[in-house]
Structure 1
Amino acid sequence: MLFALVTGLDAANASAPTAAPAADSPVPVTATPAAGAPATGTQAPPRGRAAATSNPLYRTSALPSVNCRAGGIRAGSAASYRIYVTKVVRCLNLGWKTQFRKTNMAFSQPRLRFSTVKVNTPCGRWPTSAGGMYCSSNRTIYIGISRAVLRNAHPATHAQFIAHEYGHHVQQLSGILTYYANSVWRARPAAKLAYSRRLELQADCLGSAFVRQISDTLPVDQAQWDAMVSWVAENGHKNWPKNDHGKGRSQAYWMERGFNAGSPSGCNTWTAPTGRLA
């Protein structure tokens, strides 16, 4: 996904967000294999609808509790932001590698690229409203660095954003993103939006499940988390007028599901009732 205006919580009042947690835009429709770290595992990911509705990841236990002391972010410092994001991605690599091992599906690390401008990618142009994105063609997470991003440097907010983008990589490795790409290829506009909401809300959930498992060491306390969820419920949809990411209340619901479960088991948006995906 992409992240629109990534800001954070007021350090002096962690219970009240001052701006949006990381948001994003739709994942470009691609399904080509790409590079990364050497793959592990022997079981191919499921194909077709089963990849989304009954994926082996849903039958796994909680993600491992990774020691993720990524440090802080100095407001206005691009260097400290790069260091922080890189450390969080390393934690994500460790956690999801272990989770994929439980399913015996292959795992490989995504690439990470920082940019101060909205570059063109193998998946197409970087959407205007987004501050970051995942491209499945080259399995790369693109992270934008701008003054708006660096102005509010609350670590927990950025961790949720990064974990969400990484959630799309998890969808790619597990066959879910391929199913999505094939499904929207000939779908009518309304159906495309519905598929997009299931994809994006699942990434919200997967990212939140990971954040739960690093909350003790990052750290993310309950007040911070509750403030983030409350802000998203009220504002999470405002960057996406086409409603391809779900209403704020839907985003908040799936964030809470993932955080409470700490596992992909709570993140099957593909069989959820439509009312939870509005």
Structure 2
Amino acid sequence: MRWEGNRESDNVEDRRGEGGGGGGFGFGGGTIGIGTVVLALLGSWIFGVNPLTMLGLLSGGGPAPQVQQAPAHPPPHSDKQARFVSTVLADTEDVWGQLFKQGGGQYVRPKLVLFSGRTPTACGTGQAAMGPFYCPGDSKVYIDLSFYRVMEQRFHAAGEFAQAYVIAHEVGHHVQHLTGVSGKVEQARRSASEREGNALSVRLELQADCYAGVWAFHANQARSILEQGDIESALNAASAIGDDTLQRQSQGEVVPDSFTHGTSAQRVRWFKRGIESGDAMQCDTFNARAL
């Protein structure tokens, strides 16, 4: 992936080395994540649902607890991996800023928070074992960069573009927050059965995958970021974190009614739809008859 020399975002907070927040989750704002079953694969804890699903089950949607956080500071320029995610974030800012403008709207840029271990958020205490996630309560994407080692070692999903896909997927959740989609899904889940709620979460996640593809299409058109093998690495990452694949690896069987992110084939299909069309209107998973 060609990224060095491109603009880096100044919307990055580096909390690494500051120590984590306290306690367990005090859900209030809700989190939306890409890798919430990492725990099952690592053998630490087992999450059968993603943070958004847990939020719907455990919280009444009240205000999140206030957290105290040291003043944010940018990552050091010598940190190449931090520069990489800063550049990817900048690229998403440019793409979605232009797309929102074309649609007559204004894109509000999210913050990206780098942390180690755990950190306080408006959605409760974020933990590295959750994988990267988006918190609509503070409009921030959170990532412990050690997740990229997990991707390579546990998921066998290597490559910079696969890593960029992770950031673009979480930014896709931010787009859903700005357009009101995630709020409507959360509201609908409150009166839905667990099975129906899981099905809504799947459609939310697949739309974020499609949005990641839309970003890649426009970023490549504008800045020629793609190199040979990049698309394949992103598709491999999308396939590796499908619910069916993860369940088969962690528990030896597949339980479709418990899916919250979609199958490997579905995640690949919707990412490809976004990257092949570049059209966010093609990402309407909620009205799609077949996923």
**TM-score in same-fold range (> 0.5):** yes
What are the ranges of 5 or more consecutive residues in structure 2 without an aligned counterpart? 1-31, 37-48, 64-76, 153-157, 248-254
Q: Secondary structure at the match of 1:184?
A: helix
Asked if structure 1 preserves the Cα contact closer than 8 Å seen for 2:95 and 2:219, the reply is: no
| CA deviation after TM superposition for structure 1 residue 147, in Å | 7.1
Letter in 2 for 1:97: G
| CA deviation after TM superposition for structure 1 residue 146, in Å | 1.7
Asked if structure 1 preserves the Cα contact closer than 8 Å seen for 2:216 and 2:275, the reply is: yes
Deviations 1:99-140 (A, max 9, x none): 111222342111111001132422134367532110000001
With CA pairs under 8 Å and 6+ residues apart, which has the higher RCO, 1 or 2?
1
Equivalent of residue 232 in structure 2, options 216, 226, 235: 226
Q: 1:225 to 1:272 in 2, by over 3 A?
A: same
Matches within 5 A, 1:110-259: 110-126=110-126, 129-146=129-146, 149=149, 152=152, 154-215=159-220, 217=223, 219-221=225-227, 223-230=229-236, 232-233=238-239, 236-237=242-243, 238-239=245-246, 242-259=258-275
Q: Which residue of structure 2 aligns with residue 266 of structure 1?
A: 282
Q: 1:79 to 1:96 in 2, by over 3 A?
A: same
Instruction: Quote the RMSD (CA, aligned, Å).
Output: 3.0
Matched positions, count: 213
Q: Percent identity?
A: 24
How far apart are the structure 2 equivalents of 1:253 and 1:156? 17
Deviations 1:247-274 (A, max 9, x none): 111111101111111120210001001x
How far apart are the structure 2 equivalents of 1:225 and 1:31? 41
Asked if structure 2 preserves the Cα contact closer than 8 Å seen for 1:110 and 1:139, the reply is: yes
* TM-score scaled by length of structure 2: 0.64
* TM-score scaled by length of structure 1: 0.67
Q: Which residue of structure 2 aligns with residue 51 of structure 1?
A: none
